[in-house]
A and B are shown apart, each in its own frame.
Chain A
């Protein structure tokens, strides 16, 4: 297992946002996390790269308790893409170089060009990040996360703020990037059809607890009577 959680919980102001969630994620698996608003999907994701601290339970990355890893090393290996792409001021290339620069590494112009080609934005390196469309910005955010060479990618509803066309493009891109880089991926989505298209497995959360987990077809069929 590349990622495992053991009775993972987070309680804020007396309310359990994540309640004793135990799950195993295999290498190369694409796990879609579904559930109604407020069911703890984003809260769970934030515990996996330790942006928030669990109240109890723990996360194991490649068998190691995540508290044994320096937070920055954990976050480099478990990349995250937020719901809306928050790009830093500067050029697209500046954004792509941000992650590697944090550990003293530099990426060449060629590497920047390859990353942009991967996300379908060839020639965008010197564009002002503030002037991109929502779909383009999300593509840059994906390339920026990939530039850090993670082994697990967390995506928090990456298409929810996009129009239908950009949504489909970004969804396709996620599938391609995950396959090309052999990434393990956990993606939050409200869209069950998207989960069916993108994921290999589905985790359904309700009130912070695991309602169902398993292969995508089984879970969606059992839960929502999907064919």
Chain B
């Protein structure tokens, strides 16, 4: 129906956005009748979403006309933003921003670089930036899950960790079970996505490719390639993230500092004594 009213593609897209938003607002109003008030959050989220995605579209448009290195700058900025977002959500992990930045840069960054060099990801800006952003966003989510799960596991097993330390265990050995469980938990969504691919869901990338005229088999295979890359980058991110979080959980003298209670001791004396620590 909209196609008949709006033959111009841009106007048609805007009309589609309005209709989709109207459906979301209608649900929020329906929820209000049950005393569930989400309309304010939804309105803000819709406005924010439109502004952000329009800005990205405009930036992509500029990039298409600019030099190729702009894609690297854009992906670098995305890694920074992802690290900031992840560290806000895992703020109780000491050094969360530094850990997130290193983990996402190492995980998503290296997979994007290797795949681009091998020709798995097309190096044109229009492909590199959207596919790269998918890897970075998934790495961010996996990193947040891994850090938060690790912190929660260590906090809830504080006594066992300190018992292990008191028995002369290394920090690595004393938290090994919690590194393993947080790593496994953070990769569960990526594994589930791969497992249910095509049965439970047809991902957006594949849908978009089919809609733009790519043969469905090609689109399906490329979607599999993307999900495998997401798994690789998320896995590497979690591996680096949990390793760094483990290190931040202990002081140089191998004392547990990542605690459920966050009381802060006065700084020990500097100088000779501190140097020996």
Chain B interface extent, by class: 20 to 34
Which chain B positions have C-beta within 8 A of A84?
A: 159
Question: In whole angstroms, what is the CA distance A73 to B253 when docked?
Answer: 12
> Known contacts being A56-B269, A102-B169, is A12 close to B264, with CB within 8 Å?
yes
Q: Is A76 an interface residue when CB atoms closer than 8 A count as contact?
A: yes
Which chain A positions have C-beta within 8 A of B251?
A: 53
Q: Is A145 an interface residue when CB atoms closer than 8 A count as contact?
A: yes
Name the contact of B168 in the complex, choosing from A13, A53, A58, A99 (C-beta under 8 A): A99
Q: Is B23 an interface residue when CB atoms closer than 8 A count as contact?
A: no
Q: Assess the B167–A145 pair: CB atoms within 8 A.
A: yes
Chain A residue nearest to B174 in the complex (CB): A102
> Known contacts being A56-B269, A65-B276, A71-B254, is A102 close to B168, with CB within 8 Å?
yes
> Known contacts being A67-B273, A86-B159, A88-B160, is A76 close to B168, with CB within 8 Å?
yes
Question: In whole angstroms, what is the CA distance A72 to B169 when docked?
Answer: 7
Per-position contact with A for B243-277: 1 when CB-CB < 8 Å, else 0? 00000000101111000000111111100010011
Chain A residues numbered 101-125 whose CB sits less than 8 Å from any CB in chain B: 102-103
Name the contact of B265 in the complex, choosing from A52, A75, A86, A145 (C-beta under 8 A): A52
Which chain A positions have C-beta within 8 A of B167?
A: 75-76, 79, 98-99, 102, 144-145, 148
Chain B residue nearest to A84 in the complex (CB): B159
Chain B residue nearest to A68 in the complex (CB): B276
Contacts from B to A (Cβ < 8 Å): 159-160, 162-170, 173, 251, 253-256, 263-269, 273, 276-277
Q: Give 9 closest A-B pairs by Cβ, nearest first.
A: A76-B168, A11-B266, A67-B276, A80-B166, A99-B167, A71-B254, A86-B163, A72-B168, A86-B159
